[in-house]
Structure 1
Amino acid sequence: MGRLDSYLPYLLNRAGNRIATAFGEEVRPLGATLQMWRVLAALRERDGRRMGDLSATTSIEVSTLTRLVDTMETKGLVARRRAADDARAIVLQVTPAGRRLTQRIVPIAERYEQVALAGFSPAEAERLKAALRRLYSNMDKLQGD
C-alpha cells in the first residue's frame, strides 16, 4: 500500500470529511444538517421524488432516510404525498419553508464548491467530478462479492 497519504480511500475520506464537517457546522445555525441539505438539494433538482430514488440520489440508507424525513416533516420542511401515478407510492415534496431554507443554503454550498476547486481550471474541475462519479460507480463491482 505504501504511504497513507498516497492511499486513495484515505485521501477521499480526508477531503470529504473536511468539507462535510465544516459545511455541517455552517448550516447547523440555520436548523439544518448535511443530510438534510442533501435531501433538499435533491428535491430542488426534482421535487416529488420517491423515497427509493431519494435514497439512491443522496446515498442515504433508506432506514436512515426515513428517520431523517420524519424529522424534516416535523420541522415543516417536507411533506409526504401519495404519488399521482400510483396511490400506493409515497413521494416527498418540499414545503415553502423547505424552499426558503434551501435558498439560504445554496450560496453556502456554492461557496464551498468554489473554495474546494480553487486553482482548478473549469476543465480540471469537470474531469475531477467525472472521475469521482466513475470511481463511485466502480464500487458497484464489490456488491457482488
Structure 2
Amino acid sequence: MSSEPQGTAAGALVWRLATRWRVSVDRALAPLDLTHAQYVLLAALHGLERAGRQPSQRELADETGLEALYVSKLARTLEAKGLVTRRRDTHDTRAVQLTLTDHGRTGVRAAMQTVQELLERLLEPLGGRHSARTTAFVRDLATLLDAPLA
C-alpha cells in the first residue's frame, strides 16, 4: 500500500509517478546506452515503420508528445550512435525523415523488452498489464491527457 496520506493532491501524485517512472526507465535502459526520451523516440519510430510509414521528425514529435526541437536533438544523438539515419524528405526539403538502422532495430527490440518487464512490475499492484483495473487506469490516464490545461 502507498505511504501517501489520504489528502495528497492528485497533481503531486501524478508528478511523483511520472518522475519515478522516468527515473526507473532511465536506470533500466542505461546498460543499453539509452535514455528514456531516446527510447520513446526509437519505440515510436519502430511502431510507425512497422505500420509502413517513414515519419518525419515533426510526425514523431506529434506521435510522442515531445517538442519538435527536442526530437531534432534526440535524432542527432541517435544518428551519432548509429541507431537512426536522418535524411531530407524529397517532397518537402524542410522535413527530415528518420529511419531505424539495423543496429537501431536490434537495440529498440532489446529496450522494448526491458521496458515491458519494468511496466509489468509497475502494474503488478493493479493486477498486471491485462487486468480490468489496469484497463480502467489507462482509460483514466488517457482522459486526463485529453483534458485542456491552457
Question: TM-score of the superposition, structure 1-length normalised?
Answer: 0.86
Query: Contact 1:24/1:33 (CA < 8 Å) preserved in 2?
Result: yes
Which residue in 1 is equivalent to 2:112?
106
User: Structure 2 CA distance, aligned partners of 1:123 and 1:81?
Assistant: 43
1:126 counterpart = 2:135: yes
Q: Which runs of 5+ in 2 are unaligned?
A: none
Per mean C-alpha deviation after superposition, the further-off stretch among 87-96 and 7-16 is 87-96
Q: Percent identity?
A: 24
Which residue in 1 is equivalent to 2:36?
34
User: What pairs with 1:3-18 in structure 2 (closer than 5 Å)?
Assistant: 6-18=8-20
Change (3 A) 1:67 1:137: same
Query: Contact 1:4/1:10 (CA < 8 Å) preserved in 2?
Result: no
User: Structure 1 CA distance, aligned partners of 2:88 and 2:78?
Assistant: 17
1:142 to 142, 145, 149: 149
SS at match of 1:32: coil
Structure 1 position 142, deviation (Å): 2.7
Q: Which runs of 5+ in 1 are unaligned?
A: none
SS at match of 1:118: helix
User: Structure 2 CA distance, aligned partners of 1:126 and 1:40?
Assistant: 25
User: Structure 2 CA distance, aligned partners of 1:55 and 1:92?
Assistant: 12
Structure 1 stretches of at least 4 aligned residues deviating more than 2 Å after TM superposition: 3-6, 81-84, 86-90
User: What pairs with 1:38-117 in structure 2 (closer than 5 Å)?
Assistant: 38-47=40-49, 48-83=54-89, 86-88=91-93, 89-117=95-123
Report Cα offsets for 1:109-133 as digits up to 9, x if no partner: 1111111111324111111111111
Which residue in 2 is equivalent to 1:22?
24
Structure with greater helix share of residues? 1
Count how many residue pairs are aligned between Structure 1 and Structure 2: 138
SS at match of 1:119: helix
Query: Contact 2:28/2:115 (CA < 8 Å) preserved in 1?
Result: no
Structure 1 position 4, deviation (Å): 8.6
Query: Contact 1:5/1:11 (CA < 8 Å) preserved in 2?
Result: no
